[in-house]
Amino acid sequence: MSGPHLFASLCPGPPRWRLDWQDIEEALPWIRALEGCPQDPAWHQEGDALVHTRLACEALVGLAAWRDLPEPERAVLLAAALLHDAAKPACLQRDARGLVSTRGHAARGEVMSRLILWRLCAPVAWRETVAALVLHHQLPFFIHRRPDRRWLVIRASQAARCDRLALLAQADAQAHVCPEQARLFEGIAAFIAEARAQGCLDRPRNFASAHARFLYLRDGDLALDAAAARDPDAPVAAPGPGRVVLVCGPPGAGKQAWGLEHCPSWPIVAQEDPLLAAGQVPGTARPPARDCSLDAPRALLREGVPFLWFGTFLSRAQRGRALAQIAAAGAMVRIVHVEASEDTLFAWNRRRQRPLPGLDLRRLLEGWQTPAPGEGHQVDWLANP
């Protein structure tokens, strides 16, 4: 059963709207890993991560706003609620005093959600909607305390509907048994107000052009102060003549075949991830102080020659280094993310001239962050069977 159909089958319906937790645990074996995972008692006096997840899902299906949604959208939000804390066991830490922390579980949960839903053969757009909700699920709680809240809300709106994110946060907040629960709801109200003020409560925030959006979102990646001060409607210079198609995705997914078919006469820059060569997951180590592999794309950008830029670029950090060069040159970039099903990916990898060992490929996928809408001037997700 594919991802959307599986989660749709777990969604309760009228008139009882009763969540069958036994069915959920039988259908989703990974959820049992949450049992026994402790949480910070300052925010979670309800029990372990499994108890919290169950309470959040029950709160979600009790919301009138969730029940009023079309059935496919109810399934998306239920999937996000089930997955929102899936990475807590992997992120669990204790300090010298024995205090519990699961810092970073939202970002790691995004990747876990992607892999779980990928293995369930969920359509890419459906999967990425769920993954974006998981990634941003804590954002509404503390947005009012952030000086860059406008940029954060606008960025989130490019990948996830803010009204849906607020619904997920409301259910999550109801599942927090703690003295400061009211602060969570204050944050959600501030998040909704900011999204409404930016015209992106139920849609991505609009920009004057794709180039204006690209530069605005890049500013936030580079400096918090720039994100807080920048006006999203400020005029920007027209893009220069440079054009880049950044083709990224897991090794063996069919990137080269796509490029040769669609841009056969374009110059090609093929960049091996320096961390991949070192056997490290992308984004988990510092890049070299000077990466000579950037010399060729820099030269093409200076000349304004359109070119294909190949690489795995599985993490935002690795794509960010390439995108920084493109932005500095004032060029336009289309990001084409090519992937394949698990069976196809591993089969094609074995036929490559330089195949990755299966274990290394699995480790590489543990850092898989699909390009988000707005990360380039145009972003396309392509999936081979």
- Residue spans of the domains in the chain: they are 3-197, 243-384
Coil vs helix vs strand at 53 = helix
d(CA 32, CA 252): 32
Whole-model pTM: value is 0.93
* Buried/exposed 197-229: b ≥16 CB within 10 Å, e otherwise: ebebbeebbebeebbbbbbbbbbbbeeeeebbe
- Residue 197: both structure tokens together: 């003020």
Q: Give the pLDDT confidence score for residue 99 in this predicted structure.
A: 87
- Residue 289's pLDDT is 47
Q: Could you give the C-alpha distances from 38 to 8, 44, 158, 203, in angstroms and in order?
A: 29, 9, 33, 36
243-384 homologous superfamily: P-loop containing nucleotide triphosphate hydrolases (3.40.50.300)
Residue-level pLDDT at 357? 80
Buried b (16+ CB within 10 A) or exposed e, 64-73: eebeeeeeee
Identify the CA nearest to 83 among candidates 1, 159, 28, 11.
28
pLDDT of residue 294: 85
Q: Which residues are 248's β-sheet partners? A: 337
Mapped onto helix, strand or coil, the DSSP state of residue 94 is: strand
**Residue-level pLDDT at 291:** 56
pLDDT at 359: 74
The mean pLDDT values, 10 residues at a time, for the chain of 385 residues are 91 94 96 94 92 97 97 97 97 89 96 97 97 98 92 97 98 95 96 98 97 88 72 94 95 91 92 49 42 83 94 92 94 97 91 79 93 96 94
**pLDDT at residue 96 in the model:** 85
Alpha-carbon span 298 to 157, nearest angstrom: 31
Q: How far apart are CA 188 and CA 208, in angstroms?
A: 28
Angle between helices 71-83 and 124-135 (to 10 degrees): 50
Tokens of 349: 């990898």
Give the separation between CA 353 and CA 311, rounded to whole angstroms: 16
Res 238: pLDDT: 94
In terms of DSSP H, where are the helices of the chain?
3-10, 21-27, 49-61, 64-67, 71-83, 88-91, 105-119, 124-135, 139-142, 149-159, 162-174, 181-197, 210-222, 224-229, 255-262, 274-277, 295-303, 316-328, 342-351, 358-365
Nearest alpha carbon to residue 172 among 22, 41, 16, 43: 43
CA distance 319 to 322: 5
Residue 354 CA to residue 199 CA, distance in Å, equals: 48
What is the DSSP code string of 105-131? HHHHHHHHHHHHHHHTT--HHHHHHHH
User: Which of 331, 339, 343 is closest to 313 using CA atoms?
Assistant: 339
